[in-house]
Chains A and B, each alone.
Chain A
Amino acid sequence: MSRLPSLPKLPARGGKERAPLSPQVKIAMVAFGIVLAYALPLLHLPLITTPDSDFAGVLFTMAIYVLVALGLNIVVGYAGLLDLGYVGFYAIGAYSVAVLTAAHGSLPFFAVVPIAVVVAMISGVLLGAPTLRVRGDYLAIVTLGFGEIIRLVATNSDWLGGARGISKVPAPPSIPPNGADGTVTEPLFKIPHLQWDGLVPSIDPDTTTKVLKFGVLDAAPYYWLALTVVLIVLVADVLIKNSRVGRAWEATREDEDAAEMMGVPTFRYKLLAFAIGAFVGGLAGSLFATRQSFVSPMSFQLLLSMLFVAAVVVGGQGNRWGVIIGASLVVYLPERFREFNDFRVLFFGLALMLLAIYRPQGILPPGRTKRARAVQAKLVAVETGTEDEVEHRA
């Protein structure tokens, strides 16, 4: 097993092992990454682009899953609460949008999103208030039930469209707005795509994406919307994690009783993690609804909850960059290898198994796990005799 390949050159302290990049370089790299992320659906990069399905559509789904994984990471990774019913909040977000824009109202999409996330958040609090008093496995079982209950309620409620679901969920408003009779106005500007002849790129004047026009055919504008939301949530995640709230979550995860006795109202913080997680889940659900233009109970199967948890665990729970990678892979790999038909699921399963064996902490585990284990190994090495610099400080 590839465990700790580079043990020797360990830094004495956890925080600063790599020479820090200068701020300008960092900003430039981040800016480049963001531009690249936005440009991906236009570039049609060979090898990366999915051959058998619309790449922009795949990217949109990836962005949605990343969003979900970021939200679930707060609950599972930071606060340490195993939530197996996260799809419930996703469904609540999607159904809230569908009900208010199509089934029982005709409010515009952007007016409905805040309502949808608040509804999801309230449901998170309602679920959490009684259930967060149980711990560990019990919580997992209760949340599992919650996810199923939401789906069954949707299936059996005519008001929610029953098993047929709700169709004709409107797209987000285009800018400039389309005519009331459905005539499509000219976009502000169009961006041409690239085309590749082998490894030689050229501009393809025939394929263009209309900016800020949410139509049925081109998924790129939806992807850009979702990506923007992901970036906002990511910034919020960093800010919250690095504050007192993030510390309280981690302390609760590490040792709930000790945290309580260090003055952390653990129940309140667990509930907060649930509410914020539900908020993000609802947000992802509402984006899903508007892109899909159709929601039905079939879209919120239990399997989805498992995939969400898989995305977080595969990436490395507790590390936001890890779960972003995990979520992207969970969506991307099956799409990329669509040519293998049903076997792709088998390969996906195999990949997960290999991962569990060789990287049990996830692809990108939080620095703390990695470094803590490395230091632990060093201590063992010291104890077993290979001591060059024994740290005996007592």
Chain B
Amino acid sequence: MPELTKESGGAPSSPAPDAPPILEVDNVTLKFGGVTALDGVTFDIKQGEILGLIGPNGAGKTTCFNVMTGVYKPTSGEARFLGTTLAGRKRFEITRLGIARTFQNIRLFRSMTALENVMVGVDTHSTTGVLRALFRTPRQRTEQAYAEKRAHELLELVGIADRAHEFAASLPYGDQRRLEIARALATEPKLLCLDEPAAGFNPAEKEKLLALIRKVRDEGYTVLLIEHDMRLVMGVTDRIVVLEFGRKIAEGSPAEIRDNPAVIAAYLGVDDDDVA
């Protein structure tokens, strides 16, 4: 299996090659009964980069993602975020540590407004409880005002500020995806994981999404992008990890991945004997 060296140039705005890893996936294996969903997967995400995680359907992308966000506990190996292991942590704690995600099938709080959706994310780092809410202490009012202001800023960033008071359920599809990104950013993540953010988009919308993802990275966020659409991945990522049947088959810059025979085989199909 050809294993490419990491980081060789990449897009012009890519981070320094020796940037510290923010998330390390270390030899992670995950078995569901007899099925091995992930088999010794190892890679890391560096501070400030956009890493693409790709692979054909059923390759284990979303499973890998779920290990990183604490939904699944790996059978062996571990995922480390900023040096601490994620296994055994509650999901909301992982969010507080600094990993946020969006969902492949949009999961907004449908009957809350766009603004409220984002405010829930901002609330991650506030401390108001019932008593402070009851007495409207100065601290509570500061937090509330901050949450509102920050939520507005984030809606501005993703470009749907004019829809702040509409209900999430009533937003058009594309805006719902944007709202998910804003909500995830609201938790002040050090790592933002996007799970197929372009699903169901037409080419024009995809182009806008690319611009948004770059903008988010330029704001200083590290982005993990899980995506199906090769063109989108090639256009925006600094580095790509390719999974197939739960194993990592390649890792490298978009240009390297494009020419990698194993990747081409995985996507286009070749006799099993030739790949091995």
Contacts and interface: CB of A to CB of B under 8 A. Distances in A.
Interface residues of B, number: 54
Interface in A258-309: 258-266, 272, 276
A240 interface: yes
B147 interface: yes
Nearest to B173: A394
Given A243-B128, A262-B121, A393 B172 contact: yes
Contact of A243 (B107, B125, B144, B208): B144
B133 A251 contact: no
Which label, helix, strand, loop or mixed, suits the secondary structure of the A interface? Answer: helix
Interface string A222-246: 0000000000000010011011111
Given A236-B134, A240-B130, A247 B120 contact: yes
Interface string A243-259: 11111101100110111
A14 interface: yes
Nearest to A368: B111
B174 A394 contact: yes
Contact of B111 (A258, A263, A265, A369): A369
Contact of B107 (A255, A264, A276, A366): A255
Interface string B178-193: 0000011011000000
Contacts of B107: 255, 257-258
Contacts of A239: 133-134, 136
A16 interface: yes
A250 B69 contact: no
A266 B112 contact: no
Contacts of B113: 14-15, 368
Contacts, number: 137
A213 B143 CA distance: 45
Contacts of B123: 244, 247-248, 263-264
B116 A250 contact: yes
Given A239-B134, A251-B120, A261-B95, A372 B165 contact: no
Contacts of B134: 236, 239-240
B109 interface: yes
A375 interface: yes
A366 B117 CA distance: 17
Contacts of B165: 13-16
Given A261-B92, A262-B121, A391 B172 contact: yes
A376 interface: yes
A394 B205 contact: yes
A379 interface: yes
A338 interface: no
A197 B170 CA distance: 54
B129 to A, nearest CB: 7
B144 A394 contact: no
Contacts of A392: 172
A13 B155 CA distance: 15
Contact of B133 (A240, A260, A371): A240
Contacts of A368: 111-113, 167
Nearest to B125: A263
B204 interface: yes
Interface in B119-142: 119-121, 123-126, 128-130, 132-134, 136, 140
A372 B95 contact: no
B215 interface: no
A260 B166 contact: no
Contact of A394 (B120, B121, B172): B172
A356 B230 CA distance: 50
Given A254-B109, A261-B95, A245 B129 contact: yes
B116 A247 contact: yes
B120 A379 contact: no
A13 B103 contact: no
Nearest to B109: A254
A20 to B, nearest CB: 14
Contacts of B163: 13
Contacts of A262: 92, 95, 100, 120-121, 124, 183-184, 186-187
A366 B167 CA distance: 12
Contacts of B169: 372, 376
Interface string A44-58: 000000000000000
B119 A247 contact: yes
B210 to A, nearest CB: 13
B150 interface: no
A376 B101 contact: no
A286 to B, nearest CB: 20
Given A239-B134, A248-B120, A263 B187 contact: yes
Contacts of A258: 103, 107-109
Given A243-B133, A250-B116, A368-B112, 7 more contacts: A245-B130, A257-B91, A260-B90, A261-B92, A372-B111, A375-B170, A393-B172
Q: Which 10 residue pairs spanning A and B have beta carbons closest together?
A: A263-B124, A243-B133, A375-B170, A15-B165, A254-B109, A263-B95, A258-B107, A372-B167, A13-B165, A368-B111
11 contacts: A13-B165, A244-B126, A244-B143, A251-B112, A251-B117, A262-B120, A262-B186, A262-B187, A264-B124, A372-B110, A375-B166
